[in-house]
Amino acid sequence: MFDEDLRWQSVTSLPASIRLRHSRLAFLTPLAALGELPWRKSDAWNNRSQSQPERGSNAERLHRPEAHLRPSRKLPEVSRSREPDLASSFTLSEEREGEEAGRKRNKEVPLSRDCLSRSDVRMAQASPVLARPLVFLLVLGSTAWVGAEAGAAGLSGERKPNVVLILTDDQDVYLGGMTPLKKTNALIAEMGVTFSNAYVPSALCCPSRASILTGKYPHNHHVVNNTLEGNCSSKSWQKIQEPYTFPALLKSECGYQTFFAGKYLNEYGAEDAGGLGHVPPGWSFWYALEKNSKYYNYTLSVNGKARKHGANYSMDYLTDVLANMSLDFLEYKSSFEPFFMMIATPAPHSPWIAAPQYKKNFENVSAPRNNNFNIHGKDKHWLIRQAKTPMTNSSVQFLDDAFRKRWRTLLSVDDLIEKLVKKLQFQRELDNTYIFYTSDNGFHTGQFSLPIDKRQLYEFDIKVPLLVRGPGIKPNQINKMLVANIDLGPTILDIAGYDLNKTQMDGMSLLPLLRGEINKTWRSDVLVEYQGEGHNSSDPTCPSLGPGVTHCFPDCVCEDAYNNTYACVRTLSTKWNLQYCEFDDREVFVEVYNLTADPHQITNIAKTIDQEILEKMNYRLMMLQSCAEAMCRTPGVFDPGQEPWKCSRYLSRRWQRRREQWPLAPVLSLWNRQRIWTASCVFASVSSTEHDYVGTLHFLQSVNAGAPEGMPGPQKGEGVTGAGERLRRGRGRAAVHLLRRWDPRR
């Protein structure tokens, strides 16, 4: 076992002139001061490694006792024979443009004062001697060894925490998606906190992953679906958003070493967007999957260079490959800097290929037959109503089989979690490491007779697991606060000590909740938005469905359409548990659900709910759709004292009377009209005095900013940008004239 005795043995085997530099106080010395010192493990460790049998299949490695302690299969890009220190031993210089490029890429980044924790500042201020560690070491010499051991142990606890983020693909929580993960539940959930109300701002892979990376709602990062046209890993995304993701800030501002392995964004690697040679800023080590999830026969970008994998389980099964790469990183990372790891597994995304040892598991499991299974969504949007009820027997058998296969793929993720936690524990890093586990979106299998997919606005598609363990988190906690994946970036930056006021993120830090603090001002609603994929053309196999449908099954049940565009506000407070959604396509449609009385969202109460509640929800939705940064974290309309929604009602009542006097009336849809009213009312609510129309137009222009570079803007009369363009032409005076007569006391 590689323990403290063996570490001391490896140090004492070095020449006396450099022995001190490998002492436990070496963490105080800058990496540059270490020079080109040869680092090697002890003879005992080498003998132990040689005594072990050669590594067999991934299955053998996963289930072999203490297999996580052994060096994993040698990666071609890692040279283990001549590396001078831990930090450079994982440099992929062979895969880059020579060793000089590798040294430049991994050059130590000076810490920004924005990222210094209080303990960092306190230690620097309290001990000027420690501020000059090299002088300190030379003065004390070898006689300081005994006392230094205790001092180093105490000071090492001041190092910034490490962070690990495990992201699965299409894993639900509504249908029991966490059930197969026994080890994960024991090692993360039972040792930390489970957020029972965690949501995604878009029920689709690419927009949701973009929200995790940027901490923004889709209307602010502009990734609207899984296509390049929808800004998924496009050049516009790379230029405008990637430099400001939280991993980029962790590396450049906080001095973290960062590691990514797995699925990035669905269109990553597309030739039109830089191919696999593009490595996003902020990543020290990059092992990204080309495009969408696969288990075999895929290509990885290894720090910008393509590497193909085949169909050999022991060498190529992606979930296990990600596990091996993660263990290699932990073994060869620098011990002088904190680290951030993001591991994005393919499971349980299609094509649902399980590891060989798990292909017979869950033979008697079927998709849950809950109350909304295989029923017609008669009072829902047209895309849901087109599903055929009841489903055919072959369709039910297909989704049952898919459900079992999804669970089987997750068993390899469970093994990955176990190995990762054990490795962190073996390296004595576990107590200083936060581990986050979540998914990019949920999934459905037969709900409202929709066979299998995501994309929809219902709980089964927008609710995800979120488990966290780490320093200061009490075990076995259930937190019912409303959270979203836009909170992950701010939380991780907060853990690193970064000043969140310097970001442009919409989310909130979960760190106070993780510590068990009670926050009475926490948010009561989140935004969910989606823009459909496809084009305005008919599917020749399903002509009866009309133009624009996509993701269709053989029986002409389709999961998406080009105009399947909606936005929802999900409200959860001590009094209310509601969801309000509007569709902005060829059919103006509203869906409202009371999830306390109707948790499966069977009955749309849009026509029966109290009109005042409807107006409040409408106002809040439109406000969130135009929000950015701190405005996205304002109190909801059901919080005490929040009544600016009445302004929107006032304008809507006067709409007909002023229709002829407002040039926008003939061309603006109800959606755009309401956006304009809401933006005007938001502007009015932050001012106690009457304002002129110039100020309002300036505000609306900022709200309705144009599409980012490289993205097509909306057509005439479409979307919020179209409304903003008309306002820029000076056609909003009538709305402001109405606003002048608005009295908030009415």
Instruction: List, by residue number, the catalytic residues.
Output: 205
Taking each helix axis from N to C terminus, what angle separates 733-740 and 693-703, rounded to the nearest 10 degrees?
A: 120
CA distance 735 to 429: 59
Residue 529 φ/ψ region, left for φ over 0, alpha for ψ in the -120 to 50 degree band, beta for the rest:
beta
CA distances from 77 to 6, 82, 95, 670 (A): 28, 13, 6, 57
Q: Which of 293, 289, 288 is nearest to 303 (CA)?
A: 288
CA distance 698 to 732: 11
CB 682 within 8 A of CB 623: yes
Element of type H or E holding 217: none
Q: Which of 442, 441, 432, 440 is nearest to 470 (CA)?
A: 432
CA distance 44 to 22: 18
Cβ within 8 Å of residue 276, ≥6 positions away: 269, 288, 290, 299, 301, 304, 305, 306
CA distance 580 to 591: 6
Quote the distance between the C-alpha of residue 42 and its chain's center. Answer: 40
CA distance 24 to 27: 7
Tell me if residue 568 falls in helix, strand or coil: strand
CA distance 453 to 113: 45
CB 496 within 8 A of CB 173: no
Start-to-end C-alpha separation, the chain: 75
Neighbours of 42 (CB within 10 A): 18
Neighbours of 571 (CB within 10 A): 25
- Number of residues in the chain: 746
Q: Report H helices in 157-245.
A: 182-184, 205-214, 218-221, 235-240
Tell me if residue 166 falls in helix, strand or coil: strand
Give the CA diameter of the chain: 92
